[in-house]
């Protein structure tokens, strides 16, 4: 099954990746891009202040069900990203997607197939997926 948008993106990445074709370059760029996302989120808290982190121990009921966890678990985020911070984070996520797609390209993996398999796994395992 083809997905035009996903396949077009993967084709575009293939055409645009010139400097970092080595697997080592791409792996280090994926790690760097992920770090830049982390930094952008941290700056949203520490520099802009549009969001705050109020982290504390998660309250998990002893006699609760797995479904009850949805209501108990907290993101620890208060506030909402301002437009500037959202734009920066979206840009950094886009860069990460570019390098993840580059990795798919050099390993001859279809990004669309990866997404389909992940959706299938989520649909099959549901909330038990991450256990």
How many distinct structural domains can be found in the chain?
Answer: 1
C-alpha span between 99 and 31 (Å, rounded):
9
Q: At 131, is the pLDDT very low, low, confident or very high (cuts 50, 70, 90)?
A: low
Spell out where 21-62 has E strands.
Answer: 51-53
At 49 the pLDDT is 97
Q: What is the pLDDT of residue 95?
A: 95
Question: Does the global pTM surpass 0.75?
Answer: yes
Q: Estimate to the nearest angstrom the gap between the alpha carbon of 35 and the chain centroid.
A: 12
Residue 73, domain extent: 4-128
Alpha carbon of 131 to those of 53, 92, 118, 120, 125: distances in Å?
26, 29, 15, 16, 10
Give 40-87 pLDDT, tens digit per residue: 999 999 999 999 999 988 877 788 777 777 777 888 999 999 999 999
Mean of pLDDT values over 100-128: 90
Strand partners, 51: 79
Backbone conformation region of residue 31, classed left if phi is above 0, alpha if psi is from -120 to 50, else beta = alpha
| CATH code of the domain covering residue 22 | 1.10.287.1080
């Amino acid at each position: 099954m083809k997905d035009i948008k996903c396949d077009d993106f993967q084709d575009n990445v293939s055409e645009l990746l010139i400097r970092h074709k080595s697997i080592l370059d791409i792996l280090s760029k994926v790690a760097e891009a992920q770090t830049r996302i982390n930094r952008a989120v941290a700056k949203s808290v520490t520099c802009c202040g549009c969001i705050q982190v109020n982290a504390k121990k998660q309250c998990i009921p002893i006699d609760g069900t797995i479904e009850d966890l949805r209501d108990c678990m907290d993101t620890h985020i208060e506030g909402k990203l301002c437009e500037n911070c959202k734009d920066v984070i979206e840009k950094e996520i886009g860069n990460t997607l570019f390098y993840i797609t580059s990795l798919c390209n050099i390993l001859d993996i279809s990004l669309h197939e990866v997404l389909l398999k992940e959706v299938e796994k989520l649909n099959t395992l549901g909330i038990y997926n991450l256990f």
